[in-house]
Structure 1
């Protein structure tokens, strides 16, 4: 299991290095963008989806 974890970590780091190079940024910049901008944005979107689903479920339950 440890070998799998190391392989996944290495693949993620390699992806970030290549993405940073494509964007003309450093690995540190790409990593900071992912953790301080992208991850919170995705979390907010997912929370909005969950809230929307809760509203839809409530409406469906009232129809019964």
Structure 2
């Protein structure tokens, strides 16, 4: 199990290094973008989806 975790970590770091190189940035910049911009945006969008689903479910329950 430990080897799988190390392999996944290595693959993710390799992906980030290659993505940063394609964008003309450093690994540090790409990592900061991921954790300070992309992750919060995805979290807010997913919270919006959950709220929208709750509204839709309430409307469906009222129709019954």
Could you say whether these structures have the same fold, taking a TM-score greater than 0.5 normalized by the shorter chain as the test?
A: yes
Separation (CA, whole Å) in 1 of partners of 2:8 and 2:55: 37
Alignment partner of 1:40 is 2:40: yes
* 2:49 corresponds to: 49
After TM superposition, the runs of 4+ consecutive aligned structure 1 residues lying more than 3 A away are: none
User: Which ranges of structure 1 fall in alignment gaps of 5 or more residues?
Assistant: none
> Structure 2-normalised TM-score?
1.00
- CA deviation after TM superposition for structure 1 residue 29, in Å: 0.1
- CA deviation after TM superposition for structure 1 residue 40, in Å: 0.1
- Paired residues in the alignment total 64
User: Which ranges of structure 2 fall in alignment gaps of 5 or more residues?
Assistant: none
Question: How big is the alpha-carbon RMSD for the aligned residues of Structure 1 and Structure 2?
Answer: 0.2
Separation (CA, whole Å) in 2 of partners of 1:27 and 1:59: 46
- CA deviation after TM superposition for structure 1 residue 54, in Å: 0.2
Separation (CA, whole Å) in 1 of partners of 2:17 and 2:25: 9
